[in-house]
Amino acid sequence: MNRWFFFCCVTISVLLIIRLEWPKLKVKPIRDKAVFVSLLLLVWILSMLDLPNTPGPTTVLMFIFKPFRGLVEP
């Protein structure tokens, strides 16, 4: 329930930012618009993930190389 509330708040915030900033961006080049949209999209996608409980890169490496532990250690 709490995650959905957070996701809805982020979605509303992103839509509000787009609504307020897009008129100013109309005169800007395509590159600025692309960066603006991509950053907002990145934030919106990251808000869907449970980042504090997501395993990091070391966990992935341990998962990959753990079966080879017996071959490497004496």
Residue 1's pLDDT band (cuts 50, 70, 90): low
Mean pLDDT of 8-37: 92
Q: How far apart are CA 27 and CA 6, in angstroms?
A: 33
Say whether pTM exceeds 0.85. no
Q: Using an 8 Å Cβ cutoff, are 36 and 25 in contact?
A: yes
Give the pLDDT confidence score for residue 38 in this predicted structure.
95
* % helix, strand, coil for the chain, step of 5: 85, 0, 15
